[in-house]
Copies of this chain bind each other. A is one copy, B any other.
Amino acid sequence: MREATLRDVAELAGVSPRTVSNVVNGYAKVTELTREKVERAIAQLGYRPNVLARHLATGRSGQIVVMVPYLDTPYFAELLQAIIPVARREGYNVLIDQSDGDREHEGQLIGQASHHALFDGMIYSPLGLSQEDLSGRDPALPLVVLGERTSEANFDHVGIDDVAASTEAVQHLIGLGRCRIAAIGDQPYPTGEAAQRRTKGFRAAHAAAGLAVDESLVIGTPRFNRVDGAQAMERLLALENPPDAVFCYSDLVALGAVHTLVRRGFRVPEDVAVIGYDDIEDGRYGLPTISTIAPDKQEIARLAVERLVMRIKSKEPVAGVDLRAGHRLIARQSTLAQ
Protein backbone atom coordinates (compact mmCIF):
# COMPACT_ATOMS: atom_id res chain seq x y z
CA MET A 1 0.00 0.00 0.00
CA ARG A 2 1.39 3.39 -0.91
CA GLU A 3 2.04 5.89 1.92
CA ALA A 4 -0.87 8.29 2.56
CA THR A 5 -0.29 11.87 1.47
CA LEU A 6 -1.51 15.16 2.84
CA ARG A 7 -3.87 15.33 -0.14
CA ASP A 8 -5.40 11.96 0.81
CA VAL A 9 -6.06 13.25 4.31
CA ALA A 10 -7.64 16.44 2.94
CA GLU A 11 -9.91 14.44 0.63
CA LEU A 12 -11.08 12.05 3.34
CA ALA A 13 -11.67 14.88 5.83
CA GLY A 14 -13.38 17.03 3.20
CA VAL A 15 -11.09 20.02 3.81
CA SER A 16 -8.32 21.79 1.89
CA PRO A 17 -4.71 20.54 2.03
CA ARG A 18 -3.84 23.87 3.66
CA THR A 19 -6.19 23.10 6.54
CA VAL A 20 -4.56 19.70 7.03
CA SER A 21 -1.19 21.43 7.13
CA ASN A 22 -2.51 23.87 9.73
CA VAL A 23 -3.66 21.01 11.95
CA VAL A 24 -0.42 19.05 11.48
CA ASN A 25 1.68 22.07 12.37
CA GLY A 26 -0.45 22.88 15.39
CA TYR A 27 -1.65 26.27 14.15
CA ALA A 28 -4.55 27.40 16.28
CA LYS A 29 -6.67 28.95 13.53
CA VAL A 30 -8.72 25.81 12.99
CA THR A 31 -12.12 25.13 14.57
CA GLU A 32 -12.41 22.22 16.99
CA LEU A 33 -14.78 20.42 14.61
CA THR A 34 -12.36 20.69 11.66
CA ARG A 35 -9.43 19.65 13.82
CA GLU A 36 -11.32 16.53 14.89
CA LYS A 37 -12.25 15.63 11.30
CA VAL A 38 -8.65 16.00 10.17
CA GLU A 39 -7.27 14.07 13.12
CA ARG A 40 -9.72 11.23 12.47
CA ALA A 41 -8.64 11.11 8.80
CA ILE A 42 -4.94 11.16 9.80
CA ALA A 43 -5.49 8.25 12.21
CA GLN A 44 -7.58 6.29 9.66
CA LEU A 45 -4.97 6.63 6.90
CA GLY A 46 -1.92 6.31 9.19
CA TYR A 47 -0.62 9.51 7.64
CA ARG A 48 2.81 10.72 8.87
CA PRO A 49 3.96 14.11 7.58
CA ASN A 50 7.61 13.77 6.63
CA VAL A 51 8.80 17.19 7.64
CA LEU A 52 12.45 16.20 7.74
CA ALA A 53 12.36 14.93 4.16
CA ARG A 54 10.63 18.13 3.12
CA HIS A 55 13.40 20.13 4.82
CA LEU A 56 16.00 17.99 3.11
CA ALA A 57 14.49 19.17 -0.17
CA THR A 58 13.95 22.83 0.70
CA GLY A 59 16.85 23.09 3.12
CA ARG A 60 14.69 25.04 5.58
CA SER A 61 13.73 24.28 9.16
CA GLY A 62 12.13 27.59 10.14
CA GLN A 63 14.50 27.77 13.10
CA ILE A 64 17.34 30.20 13.62
CA VAL A 65 19.89 29.95 16.40
CA VAL A 66 21.27 32.78 18.44
CA MET A 67 24.53 31.78 20.13
CA VAL A 68 25.55 33.97 23.05
CA PRO A 69 28.32 33.46 25.61
CA TYR A 70 26.11 33.65 28.72
CA LEU A 71 22.33 33.59 28.98
CA ASP A 72 22.37 35.12 32.44
CA THR A 73 24.35 38.20 31.44
CA PRO A 74 21.75 41.00 31.44
CA TYR A 75 22.99 42.55 28.18
CA PHE A 76 22.45 39.29 26.27
CA ALA A 77 19.18 38.58 28.07
CA GLU A 78 17.89 42.00 26.99
CA LEU A 79 19.20 41.61 23.44
CA LEU A 80 17.49 38.19 23.12
CA GLN A 81 14.21 39.73 24.24
CA ALA A 82 14.61 42.19 21.34
CA ILE A 83 15.60 39.55 18.77
CA ILE A 84 12.87 36.94 19.49
CA PRO A 85 9.79 39.03 18.54
CA VAL A 86 11.49 40.44 15.41
CA ALA A 87 12.41 36.93 14.21
CA ARG A 88 8.89 35.62 14.93
CA ARG A 89 7.38 38.42 12.88
CA GLU A 90 9.64 37.31 10.02
CA GLY A 91 8.35 33.74 10.41
CA TYR A 92 11.33 32.21 12.22
CA ASN A 93 11.50 30.64 15.64
CA VAL A 94 14.55 31.47 17.74
CA LEU A 95 16.53 28.79 19.55
CA ILE A 96 19.25 29.94 21.88
CA ASP A 97 22.62 28.38 22.56
CA GLN A 98 24.93 29.28 25.42
CA SER A 99 28.57 28.91 24.38
CA ASP A 100 30.19 29.82 27.73
CA GLY A 101 32.72 31.57 25.48
CA ASP A 102 34.21 28.12 24.86
CA ARG A 103 36.21 28.07 21.64
CA GLU A 104 35.63 24.37 21.01
CA HIS A 105 31.89 24.64 21.60
CA GLU A 106 31.53 27.67 19.33
CA GLY A 107 33.47 26.03 16.51
CA GLN A 108 31.58 22.78 16.90
CA LEU A 109 28.09 24.28 16.73
CA ILE A 110 29.00 26.44 13.74
CA GLY A 111 30.62 23.43 12.07
CA GLN A 112 27.64 21.13 12.71
CA ALA A 113 25.12 23.76 11.71
CA SER A 114 27.01 24.51 8.50
CA HIS A 115 26.81 20.91 7.27
CA HIS A 116 23.27 20.60 8.45
CA ALA A 117 19.73 21.70 7.79
CA LEU A 118 19.13 21.96 11.54
CA PHE A 119 18.90 25.72 11.49
CA ASP A 120 18.31 28.12 8.62
CA GLY A 121 20.82 30.59 9.99
CA MET A 122 22.70 31.84 13.00
CA ILE A 123 23.16 35.09 14.87
CA TYR A 124 26.37 34.74 16.83
CA SER A 125 28.00 36.77 19.56
CA PRO A 126 31.60 35.54 19.47
CA LEU A 127 33.77 35.14 22.51
CA GLY A 128 35.87 32.02 22.03
CA LEU A 129 36.50 32.39 18.29
CA SER A 130 38.41 35.30 16.81
CA GLN A 131 37.42 36.88 13.50
CA GLU A 132 40.38 35.08 11.98
CA ASP A 133 38.96 31.72 13.13
CA LEU A 134 35.59 32.62 11.63
CA SER A 135 36.97 33.65 8.26
CA GLY A 136 37.89 30.01 7.54
CA ARG A 137 34.47 28.59 8.28
CA ASP A 138 32.22 26.84 5.77
CA PRO A 139 30.05 29.54 4.16
CA ALA A 140 27.01 27.21 3.87
CA LEU A 141 25.35 28.60 7.03
CA PRO A 142 23.87 32.10 6.77
CA LEU A 143 25.66 33.94 9.58
CA VAL A 144 25.37 37.34 11.20
CA VAL A 145 27.96 38.17 13.85
CA LEU A 146 27.22 40.66 16.62
CA GLY A 147 29.98 43.22 16.98
CA GLU A 148 32.04 45.32 14.66
CA ARG A 149 33.96 43.87 11.73
CA THR A 150 37.72 44.04 11.66
CA SER A 151 38.39 42.03 8.49
CA GLU A 152 36.78 40.99 5.21
CA ALA A 153 34.35 38.10 5.61
CA ASN A 154 31.59 36.09 3.94
CA PHE A 155 29.21 36.93 6.77
CA ASP A 156 27.76 40.13 8.23
CA HIS A 157 28.50 42.14 11.32
CA VAL A 158 25.97 44.17 13.26
CA GLY A 159 27.08 46.40 16.09
CA ILE A 160 27.39 49.94 17.30
CA ASP A 161 30.48 52.07 16.62
CA ASP A 162 32.39 51.00 19.74
CA VAL A 163 35.34 53.31 19.20
CA ALA A 164 33.13 56.38 18.74
CA ALA A 165 30.90 55.42 21.68
CA SER A 166 33.89 54.85 23.96
CA THR A 167 35.43 58.15 22.88
CA GLU A 168 32.17 59.91 23.81
CA ALA A 169 32.05 58.20 27.21
CA VAL A 170 35.57 59.33 28.09
CA GLN A 171 34.97 62.83 26.67
CA HIS A 172 31.97 63.06 29.01
CA LEU A 173 34.31 62.39 31.96
CA ILE A 174 36.89 64.88 30.66
CA GLY A 175 34.09 67.45 30.23
CA LEU A 176 33.37 67.10 33.96
CA GLY A 177 36.93 68.28 34.65
CA ARG A 178 38.35 64.84 35.41
CA CYS A 179 41.90 64.23 34.27
CA ARG A 180 43.03 60.97 35.93
CA ILE A 181 40.71 58.61 34.11
CA ALA A 182 40.95 54.84 34.46
CA ALA A 183 39.67 52.14 32.08
CA ILE A 184 38.42 48.78 33.37
CA GLY A 185 37.97 45.86 30.98
CA ASP A 186 40.86 45.76 28.52
CA GLN A 187 41.49 42.35 26.90
CA PRO A 188 44.68 42.53 24.81
CA TYR A 189 44.38 39.15 23.05
CA PRO A 190 42.83 37.94 19.76
CA THR A 191 39.32 37.27 21.11
CA GLY A 192 39.23 40.57 23.02
CA GLU A 193 38.34 42.63 19.96
CA ALA A 194 35.30 44.32 21.53
CA ALA A 195 37.33 45.32 24.59
CA GLN A 196 40.17 46.58 22.43
CA ARG A 197 37.83 48.90 20.52
CA ARG A 198 36.80 50.46 23.84
CA THR A 199 40.44 50.94 24.82
CA LYS A 200 41.01 52.57 21.42
CA GLY A 201 38.18 55.06 22.10
CA PHE A 202 39.60 55.68 25.59
CA ARG A 203 42.95 56.60 24.05
CA ALA A 204 41.36 58.67 21.27
CA ALA A 205 39.48 60.85 23.78
CA HIS A 206 42.71 61.45 25.72
CA ALA A 207 44.59 62.34 22.55
CA ALA A 208 41.86 64.74 21.39
CA ALA A 209 41.99 66.54 24.76
CA GLY A 210 45.80 66.63 24.85
CA LEU A 211 45.82 64.34 27.92
CA ALA A 212 48.40 61.58 28.40
CA VAL A 213 47.13 58.10 29.31
CA ASP A 214 48.60 56.81 32.58
CA GLU A 215 49.10 53.12 31.65
CA SER A 216 48.77 52.05 35.30
CA LEU A 217 45.11 53.15 35.07
CA VAL A 218 44.28 50.70 32.23
CA ILE A 219 43.13 47.51 33.95
CA GLY A 220 42.48 44.22 32.15
CA THR A 221 39.69 41.86 33.28
CA PRO A 222 38.93 38.28 32.21
CA ARG A 223 35.19 38.97 31.89
CA PHE A 224 32.80 41.95 32.12
CA ASN A 225 31.10 41.02 35.39
CA ARG A 226 30.51 42.74 38.74
CA VAL A 227 33.37 40.84 40.35
CA ASP A 228 35.79 42.02 37.64
CA GLY A 229 34.81 45.63 38.27
CA ALA A 230 34.99 45.27 42.06
CA GLN A 231 38.47 43.70 41.96
CA ALA A 232 39.86 46.14 39.39
CA MET A 233 38.61 49.06 41.49
CA GLU A 234 40.46 47.64 44.52
CA ARG A 235 43.67 47.68 42.47
CA LEU A 236 43.04 51.26 41.34
CA LEU A 237 42.38 52.47 44.89
CA ALA A 238 45.63 50.85 46.03
CA LEU A 239 47.60 53.12 43.68
CA GLU A 240 49.53 56.01 45.16
CA ASN A 241 47.51 58.38 43.00
CA PRO A 242 44.04 56.84 42.39
CA PRO A 243 41.81 57.94 39.49
CA ASP A 244 39.10 60.61 39.71
CA ALA A 245 36.97 58.90 37.04
CA VAL A 246 36.53 55.40 35.60
CA PHE A 247 35.33 54.23 32.20
CA CYS A 248 33.97 50.68 32.64
CA TYR A 249 33.52 48.40 29.61
CA SER A 250 30.09 47.16 30.83
CA ASP A 251 27.43 48.29 33.29
CA LEU A 252 28.08 45.17 35.39
CA VAL A 253 31.74 46.21 35.66
CA ALA A 254 30.56 49.71 36.65
CA LEU A 255 28.20 48.30 39.30
CA GLY A 256 31.10 46.28 40.73
CA ALA A 257 33.41 49.31 40.71
CA VAL A 258 30.78 51.47 42.43
CA HIS A 259 30.29 48.74 45.05
CA THR A 260 34.00 48.86 45.93
CA LEU A 261 34.08 52.67 45.95
CA VAL A 262 31.09 52.96 48.29
CA ARG A 263 32.41 50.24 50.58
CA ARG A 264 35.76 52.05 50.83
CA GLY A 265 34.06 55.34 51.71
CA PHE A 266 34.47 57.14 48.38
CA ARG A 267 31.61 59.26 47.07
CA VAL A 268 30.31 58.62 43.54
CA PRO A 269 30.57 60.85 41.53
CA GLU A 270 32.11 63.51 43.82
CA ASP A 271 35.37 61.60 44.48
CA VAL A 272 35.26 59.22 41.53
CA ALA A 273 32.86 59.50 38.57
CA VAL A 274 31.90 56.18 36.91
CA ILE A 275 30.45 55.49 33.48
CA GLY A 276 29.46 52.05 32.13
CA TYR A 277 28.39 50.53 28.81
CA ASP A 278 25.28 48.53 27.69
CA ASP A 279 22.40 50.35 29.49
CA ILE A 280 21.11 47.28 31.31
CA GLU A 281 18.12 47.53 33.65
CA ASP A 282 20.24 46.95 36.79
CA GLY A 283 22.20 50.13 36.04
CA ARG A 284 19.02 52.17 35.66
CA TYR A 285 17.94 51.17 39.18
CA GLY A 286 21.40 51.23 40.87
CA LEU A 287 22.22 53.46 43.83
CA PRO A 288 23.59 55.66 42.30
CA THR A 289 22.04 55.09 38.87
CA ILE A 290 24.79 54.32 36.35
CA SER A 291 25.73 56.65 33.47
CA THR A 292 26.20 54.57 30.36
CA ILE A 293 26.53 54.11 26.63
CA ALA A 294 23.15 52.78 25.45
CA PRO A 295 23.39 50.68 22.29
CA ASP A 296 20.11 50.72 20.35
CA LYS A 297 19.26 47.07 21.07
CA GLN A 298 16.03 47.20 19.07
CA GLU A 299 17.95 48.40 16.02
CA ILE A 300 20.67 45.76 16.51
CA ALA A 301 17.94 43.10 16.66
CA ARG A 302 16.15 44.42 13.60
CA LEU A 303 19.30 44.76 11.49
CA ALA A 304 20.62 41.33 12.50
CA VAL A 305 17.35 39.50 11.80
CA GLU A 306 16.62 41.34 8.53
CA ARG A 307 20.11 40.66 7.22
CA LEU A 308 19.98 37.01 8.27
CA VAL A 309 16.59 36.48 6.61
CA MET A 310 17.91 38.09 3.43
CA ARG A 311 20.89 35.67 3.50
CA ILE A 312 18.60 32.68 4.13
CA LYS A 313 16.41 33.57 1.16
CA SER A 314 19.23 34.52 -1.21
CA LYS A 315 20.22 31.92 -3.78
CA GLU A 316 23.55 33.64 -4.53
CA PRO A 317 26.55 34.11 -2.24
CA VAL A 318 26.30 37.45 -0.47
CA ALA A 319 29.34 39.56 0.46
CA GLY A 320 29.70 40.45 4.13
CA VAL A 321 28.75 43.92 5.27
CA ASP A 322 29.26 45.86 8.48
CA LEU A 323 26.00 47.39 9.74
CA ARG A 324 25.98 50.04 12.42
CA ALA A 325 23.19 50.51 14.93
CA GLY A 326 22.88 53.75 16.84
CA HIS A 327 23.95 54.48 20.41
CA ARG A 328 23.63 57.36 22.84
CA LEU A 329 25.29 58.49 26.02
CA ILE A 330 22.95 58.59 29.03
CA ALA A 331 24.28 60.67 31.93
CA ARG A 332 22.92 59.51 35.30
CA GLN A 333 23.88 59.93 38.97
CA SER A 334 27.23 58.10 38.74
CA THR A 335 28.72 61.01 36.76
CA LEU A 336 26.30 63.86 37.49
CA ALA A 337 25.44 64.35 41.15
CA GLN A 338 21.73 65.05 41.67
Using a CB–CB distance below 8 Å, which chain A residues touch chain B? 24-28, 39, 48-53, 55-56, 61-63, 65, 71-72, 77-78, 80-81, 84, 93-98, 103-104, 107-112, 115-118, 136
Contact = CB atoms under 8 A, between A and B. Distances in A.
Contacts of A108: 25-27
B103 A28 contact: yes
A27 B118 contact: no
A97 B80 CA distance: 11
A64 to B, nearest CB: 11
A115 B71 contact: no
A104 B50 contact: no
A78 to B, nearest CB: 8
Given A63-B118, A80-B98, 4 more contacts: A25-B108, A26-B110, A93-B97, A95-B96
Interface residue SS majority, chain A:
mixed
A112 B56 contact: no
Contacts of A65: 95
A106 to B, nearest CB: 8
A216 B219 CA distance: 57
In order of increasing CB-CB distance, the 8 nearest A-B pairs are: A26-B111, A26-B107, A95-B95, A28-B104, A26-B108, A96-B96, A51-B115, A52-B117
Nearest to A63: B118
